[in-house]
Amino acid sequence: MDVTEHVESVYAELRRRDPGESEFHQAAAEVLHDLEPALRKHPEYVDARIVERLCEPERQLVFRIPWTDDRGEVRVNRGFRVEFSSALGPYKGGLRFHPSVDLGTVKFLGFEQIFKNALTGMPLGGGKGGADFDPKGKSDGEIMRFCQSFMTELHRSLGEHTDVPAGDIGVGSREIGYLFGQYKRITNRHEAGTLTGKSVAWGGSHVRTEATGYGVVYFLQEMLATRGRSLEGQRVVVSGSGNVAIYAVEKASALGATVLACSDSVGYLVDEDGIDPELLKEIREVRGQRLPAYAEARPNARFVESGSVFDVPCDVALPCATQNELNREHALTLVKNEVFAVAEGANMPCTAEAIEAFREAGVLFGPGKAANAGGVATSALEMQQNASRETWTFERAEERLATIMRDVHARCRATAESYGGASHDYVFGANIAGFLRTADAMVAQGLV
């Protein structure tokens, strides 16, 4: 069978079957386009219909989540868990609580997760979940009751050898605590490895909180080193001000960069003196305030409510908020301002057109499935500690994270080159490397 025709027919079929899932189509299009050289080299993948099978989740759960608000009124949300691939290990990937979540969003995230998890070299399958629940403005009691109801339904599908969720947008260690508590109560099992992102006080791993943001910066360091640069003196712009963004700011600053700006869904913050990571953490994580509170506390900082954080001139941009937040127009502004490198902390934050603009301008570009793999990799370290009933030190966990990110970077480059691409084409390298590992396992495991 002609490989191009094969890939095109798989793509056409997935669009036909699920026409409303534009984010899933976008994620699939990028990966499928890059796979052709691998399929030419390995006709056995075509014969076994690996691509077709990978595009169809092994299982998709959609469920009702009834809960009561603080006035005693009944509320109903919709929950999702897409168990995409168990070729390399238990389904693994976070839970997102945000009003925009639908099946297409969860499928795009779960699809990306397959390749990302494979790229880490760890024994992890791919999955993702969430709910169209808006945590904004909810009380602690409401969050707890919602998490309990969510887990009352989802617990049947989970287990340390089956499916292991973690956090994502709107789900942090508080939510993981409530979810775990309900899981334990219903199953009567203190099976710590069933959820990751737990508090270090009761089964979590040091560095999991920091891992995604730190990992992005480690990946960036490796990319810069290929051009003889370091982070020292670089002007960095980060989008978002949640978990990934905060720890990207912290690590980039610690390595000598000046982080000029970060953002939220209302606007962006500029601090000409460099964002102070401790103050940012205090405001966002401890006080739960928004970014204007930071601007009020620092003389050379301002909060801007129009335009985009990517208008701020910089050497390095780290989009760490959400999907499709950086479009072609933003990319062209960054290029005009001579951006040197972009690494995705969020999942699919750059549109296909933005990535094309970076490629045309020769900007170093680290795709999310490689650059933000540190989070899920540290989740795998958490599972490892849970299985052996150990708790590693912060230093030991961070050293493992740094090594994993160096390996992910090297794997992308080596794979890109060996399949006829440029070594700096991290998108191509990541897609092929993640695919090969998964495809080999699928062929070995037969038609399942």
Ligand X SMILES: NC(=O)C1=CN([C@@H]2O[C@H](COP(=O)(O)OP(=O)(O)OC[C@H]3O[C@@H](n4cnc5c(N)ncnc54)[C@H](O)[C@@H]3O)[C@@H](O)[C@H]2O)C=CC1
Nearest one of 252, 209, 249 to 397, comparing CA atoms: 209
Question: Does residue number 130 form part of the binding site for ligand X (CB under 6 A)?
Answer: no
Question: Does residue number 376 form part of the binding site for ligand AKG (CB under 6 A)?
Answer: yes
Tell me whether residue 184 is annotated as binding: no
Catalytic residue of the set 128, 198, 251, 369: 128
Binding to ligand AKG, residues 331-350 (CB under 6 A): 347
Residue closer to ligand AKG (CB basis): 179 or 291: 179
The tokens describing 363, both together, are 């900007």
Q: Which of 65, 88, 151, 169 binds ligand X (CB under 6 A)?
A: 169
Cα distances (angstroms) measured from residue 343 to each of 121, 136, 222, 248, 368: 20, 28, 11, 11, 7
Question: Does residue number 322 form part of the binding site for ligand X (CB under 6 A)?
Answer: yes
Question: Does residue number 93 form part of the binding site for ligand AKG (CB under 6 A)?
Answer: yes
Question: Does residue number 413 form part of the binding site for ligand AKG (CB under 6 A)?
Answer: no
Active site residue 128: yes
CA–CA dist 251, 210 (Å, integer): 9
The tokens describing 281, both together, are 């953490």
Name the residue whose CB lies closest to ligand AKG: 94
- Single out the segment in contact with ligand X by CB under 6 A; choices: 50-58, 68-76, 317-325, 326-334: 317-325
Tell me whether residue 79 is annotated as binding: no
* Other beta carbons less than 10 A from residue 292's beta carbon: 17
Q: Which amino acid is at 147?
A: C
The tokens describing 135, both together, are 């945590």
Q: Which of 120, 148, 182, 196 binds ligand AKG (CB under 6 A)?
A: 196
- Single out the segment in contact with ligand AKG by CB under 6 A; choices: 30-38, 332-340, 374-382, 388-396: 374-382
- Please state whether beta strands 268-271 and 163-166 pair in parallel, antiparallel, or not at all (unpaired): unpaired
Binding to ligand X, residues 200-219 (CB under 6 A): 212
- Please state whether beta strands 268-271 and 301-304 pair in parallel, antiparallel, or not at all (unpaired): antiparallel
CA–CA dist 169, 135 (Å, integer): 10
CA–CA dist 154, 160 (Å, integer): 14
The tokens describing 283, both together, are 């405001």
Binding partner selected for residue 321 from ligand X, ligand AKG, none, CB under the kind-specific 5 to 8 Å limit:
ligand X
The tokens describing 235, both together, are 């002007």
- HSE value, Cβ hemisphere, 13 Å, CA-based, for 117: 29
Nearest one of 82, 87, 96, 107 to 31, comparing CA atoms: 107
Name the residue whose CB lies closest to ligand X: 242
User: Could you tell me if 341 and 316 are in contact, meaning their C-beta atoms sit under 8 angstroms apart?
Assistant: yes
* Contact characters 255-284, ligand X, x per CB under 6 A: --------xxx-------------------
Q: Which of 196, 333, 347, 386 binds ligand X (CB under 6 A)?
A: 347
Binding partner selected for residue 263 from ligand X, ligand AKG, none, CB under the kind-specific 5 to 8 Å limit:
ligand X
The tokens describing 430, both together, are 């990541």
Q: What is the DSSP string of 245-265?
A: HHHHHHHHHHTT-EEEEEE-S
Binding partner selected for residue 196 from ligand AKG, ligand X, none, CB under the kind-specific 5 to 8 Å limit:
ligand AKG
Question: Does residue number 379 form part of the binding site for ligand AKG (CB under 6 A)?
Answer: yes
Active site residues: 128
Question: Which residues of this chain interact with ligand X, rule CB under 6 A?
Answer: 167-170, 212, 240-245, 263-265, 320-322, 325, 345-347, 372, 375
- Interface contacts to ligand AKG, rule CB under 6 A: 92-94, 113, 116, 166, 168, 196, 347, 372, 375-376, 379
- Summarize the annotated binding site for NAD(+) as residue ranges: 212, 243
